[in-house]
Chains A and B, each alone.
Chain A
Amino acid sequence: EDQVTQSPEALRLQEGESSSLNCSYTVSGLRGLFWYRQDPGKGPEFLFTLYSAGEEKEKERLKATLTKKESFLHITAPKPEDSATYLCAVQEAGANSKLTFGKGITLSVRP
């Protein structure tokens, strides 16, 4: 059973059409949940870390939220430059600093 499941696998939006990306996790003790952005041919780029249920963080058009079972990455009024693959990862308590990643969500924003 996957510890981290992201949905949907792919999402196509019109510019300005807000939506949310989901990341559900099943670790027993969460030390941190991480969101990364990955552009084609590049390494993942850090976006956010969330540590406890109820926490929220924002950066430009992105807002990440966390509950005890899942995290959402909300994209408000997206632009074509927001097109990328968004990766979610969890760090389990007691697991050193290892991150376990989901398979990612590919977002395409049409002008």
Chain B
Amino acid sequence: NAGVTQTPKFQVLKTGQSMTLQCAQDMNHNSMYWYRQDPGMGLRLIYYSASEGTTDKGEVPNGYNVSRLNKREFSLRLESAAPSQTSVYFCASTIRAPYGYTFGSGTRLTVV
């Protein structure tokens, strides 16, 4: 009964370092999403994958890249971390529109 699993749960990076946030879902969902959540800003879409083999930019894609590795996995990469990328990152998935998302528990990232 895992749902959406995100790793790691916490991470501290130095400015300029790179890292990949992992996300996997076991619900056979078609679409997957990466959001960031900042105080006073709400959830903002970074990238999404409507189906396996496709990815598209969301509202705030600069500084990020994504890979839809297969139907289950969707990773988010920070190539050169910046303090402005300090945030809580959530992965989500859905079978298709108009169904709602299932969210992971989040990755809290601090860039110093």
Report whether chain A binds chain B.
Answer: yes
Cβ contacts under 8 Å, A58 to chain B: none
Given contacts A49-B99, A99-B101, contact A87 B50 (CB under 8 A): no
Judged by a CB distance under 8 angstroms, whether A102 is at the interface is: yes
Complex Cα gap A36–B45 (Å): 16
One of A32, A98, A103 near B42 (C-beta < 8 A): A103
Chain B min CB distance to A49 (Å): 5
- Using C-beta atoms within 8 Å of the partner chain, give the interface range for chain A: 20 to 34
**9 closest A-B pairs (Cβ-Cβ)?**
A43-B103, A97-B97, A103-B42, A32-B98, A101-B43, A96-B50, A46-B100, A31-B98, A44-B103
Chain B interfacial positions (CB closer than 8 Å to A):
4, 31, 33, 35, 40-45, 48, 50, 56, 58, 90, 92, 94, 96-106
